[in-house]
Each structure stands twice: as structure tokens, then as C-alpha cells.
């Protein structure tokens, strides 16, 4: 891989690895996943081992291999947050300890699945049987199918509930930029795999589409607030400063 492709790949690594971090922080500070679709982030978490396994097989550059695994980690965190945070804290089905245990178990499962899919793809590519080699093509197409399917619950939520505040706009912007940079890094590489390019192109297009929808709903007044009983996060919360407390008023004489 050329130097330019490597440099762009590492820049893309930053944007496409940590783009879900603002969303996870937003969920934590709000004590709510708001309008974030659990199905969306769960499908993205499932996308990770499939894309990473095919990336290993197609010999992607190191930054483009690290990238999906970090993305999958944060997608899994957001998935567990969607299960843990509920509008009514008293009706939560998971304790904090159970949520952490679920996160660890999910990460272990995804890691094992990635290893299994990689070796299965490798064995299929070495086979001379046409009844087996189609698995390689399937492994290249499946990541695009999963990443696109992950956006469908978010789009459904927007059209069905008119709630657009559940998805972090910094995430969408970072996701778009990371996708575009990843495409450039792939095109500058030695062997261009169009199936890998397809996943990044689909992500960038859908991110831009959701950003446009968010602004259309807000500008036309159709956007509705997130239906949650969670407290409102203030500017003081964002910087970790407690708001000043008013002194108690004196009782009337």
C-alpha cells in the first residue's frame, strides 16, 4: 500500500473507530438511549465480525482492519445501553452488573465469530469446489447488507415517531467522513476490492440521508422531543460542574 493510502487509512481509523463514542457518552449523560434504535446498533455490532473477517481475507491495510473492531466495540456498548436504560429507572430489567456481564459476553461472542468466519472464508477460497467458493462472495456482500439493514430501524423511527434527537449528529458527521476517507484509502491501495468499497459507500450515503432528514424535520417543525423520563442534561453537566443551588427561601412571617 502506498504512503498516501496508509496515512489516509489511519485518519479514517480515527473517524470510523470513535464515531459512536459521542453517542455512547450522550446515552450515559442522559441516562437514556433516547430515540437511538437498538436494532440499528445491534446490526452494526453484528456487521463487525463479518466485515473484519472478510477484510482479513482480502488483506486490507492494518488501519482498515483495526477500524471495524473498534467500531464494533462501541456499537456493542450502545446496544447494551439501549437494553439497560429505560424511561423508568425503577422498571429496568438489567442491573449495572448484569449489563457489564452482557457486554463482556457479547464482545467474546463477536470475537469468536470473527475468527470462525475468517477461517471459514479462507478454507472456502482454497477449495476447488464451486459449491463452496460462493461463500467468499457472500462474505463480501453480507457486510453491506448488514450495515444498510442497520439504518432501516433508525429511518423507521424517524418516519414513525418524528423523533430525530436520538441519533448524535457528531456521530453521523464522523461516520460520513470516515467512510469517505476509507474509500479513498481503498482506491489508493494495491488491490481494490469493490465489495469492501460498497460497505463504506453505503454508510456514507445513508448518513448523509439521515442528516438531511433531521434538518428537514427541524426546519419544518415536525420534529418531536424524545419521549423519555430521563433528566435533561444542562451545559453544567457537560463540563462536570454542578449548577449553583438556590438558598432556601425564608418562610412567610
Does the residue 250 lie in any domain? no
Environment class of 192 (CB within 10 Å of its CB; exposed 0-12, middle 13-18, buried 19+): exposed
Rounded distance, CA 149 to CA 155, Å?
Answer: 10
Rounded distance, CA 55 to CA 31, Å?
Answer: 35
Rounded distance, CA 168 to CA 122, Å?
Answer: 37
Average pLDDT over residues 210-234: 71
Does the residue 43 lie in any domain? yes
* Averaged confidence pLDDT in the chain: 81
The pLDDT value given to residue 243 = 45
| pLDDT tens digits, one per residue of 122-147 | 888 887 666 667 888 888 899 999 98
Average pLDDT over residues 59-73: 90
Does the residue 37 lie in any domain? yes
Q: Which domain holds residue 30?
A: 3-238
The pLDDT value given to residue 227 = 61
Neighbours of 107 (CB within 10 A): 17
Does the residue 26 lie in any domain? yes
Does the residue 161 lie in any domain? yes
Beta bridge partners of 224: 163
| pLDDT tens digits, one per residue of 89-105 | 666 778 889 999 999 99
The pLDDT value given to residue 231 = 39
Return the closest-CA partner of residue 225 out of 169, 171, 180, 164. 164
Highest average pLDDT, of 15-19, 159-163, 213-217, comes from 213-217
Domain count, the chain: 1
pLDDT of 156 over the 70 cut: yes
Rounded distance, CA 253 to CA 249, Å?
Answer: 12
The pLDDT value given to residue 94 = 83
The pLDDT value given to residue 241 = 41
Does the residue 8 lie in any domain? yes
Q: How confident is the model at residue 58 (pLDDT cuts 50, 70, 90)?
A: confident
pLDDT of 203 over the 70 cut: yes
The pLDDT value given to residue 69 = 93
Cell of 212: 438531511
Does the residue 58 lie in any domain? yes
pLDDT of 237 over the 60 cut: no
pLDDT of 46 over the 50 cut: yes
Average pLDDT over residues 190-214: 88
Does the residue 253 lie in any domain? no
In sequence order, the 6+-apart residues with CB closer than 8 A to the CB of 89 are: 31
| Percentage above 70 pLDDT, the chain | 83
pLDDT of 224 over the 90 cut: no
Do residues 71 and 48 touch, judged by C-beta distance below 8 A? yes
Average pLDDT over residues 146-165: 82
Amino acid at each position: 500500500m502506498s504512503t498516501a493510502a496508509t496515512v489516509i487509512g489511519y485518519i479514517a481509523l480515527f473517524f470510523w473507530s470513535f464515531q459512536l463514542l459521542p453517542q455512547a457518552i450522550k446515552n450515559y449523560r442522559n441516562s437514556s438511549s433516547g430515540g437511538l434504535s437498538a436494532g440499528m446498533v445491534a446490526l452494526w455490532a453484528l456487521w463487525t465480525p463479518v466485515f473484519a473477517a472478510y477484510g482479513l481475507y482480502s488483506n486490507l491495510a492494518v488501519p482498515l482492519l483495526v477500524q471495524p473492531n473498534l467500531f464494533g466495540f462501541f456499537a456493542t456498548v450502545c446496544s447494551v445501553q439501549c437494553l439497560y436504560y429505560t424511561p423508568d429507572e425503577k422498571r429496568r430489567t438489567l442491573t449495572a452488573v448484569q449489563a457489564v456481564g452482557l457486554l463482556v459476553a457479547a464482545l467474546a461472542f463477536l470475537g469468536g465469530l470473527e475468527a470462525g468466519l475468517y477461517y471459514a472464508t479462507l478454507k472456502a477460497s482454497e477449495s476447488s469446489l464451486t459449491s463452496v467458493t460462493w461463500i467468499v462472495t457472500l462474505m463480501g456482500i453480507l457486510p453491506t447488507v448488514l450495515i444498510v439493514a442497520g439504518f432501516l430501524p433508525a429511518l423507521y423511527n424517524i418516519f414513525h415517531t418524528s423523533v430525530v434527537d436520538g441519533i448524535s449528529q457528531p456521530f453521523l458527521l464522523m461516520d460520513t467522513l470516515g467512510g469517505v476517507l476509507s474509500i479513498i484509502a481503498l482506491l489508493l491501495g494495491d488491490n481494490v476490492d469493490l465489495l469492501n468499497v460498497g460497505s463504506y459507500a453505503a454508510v456514507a450515503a445513508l448518513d448523509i440521508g439521515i442528516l438531511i432528514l433531521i434538518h428537514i424535520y427541524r426546519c419544518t417543525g415536525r420534529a418531536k422531543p424524545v419521549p423519555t423520563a430521563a433528566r435533561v442534561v444542562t451545559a453544567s453537566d457537560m463540563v462536570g460542574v454542578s449548577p449553583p443551588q438556590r438558598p432556601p427561601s425564608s418562610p412567610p412571617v
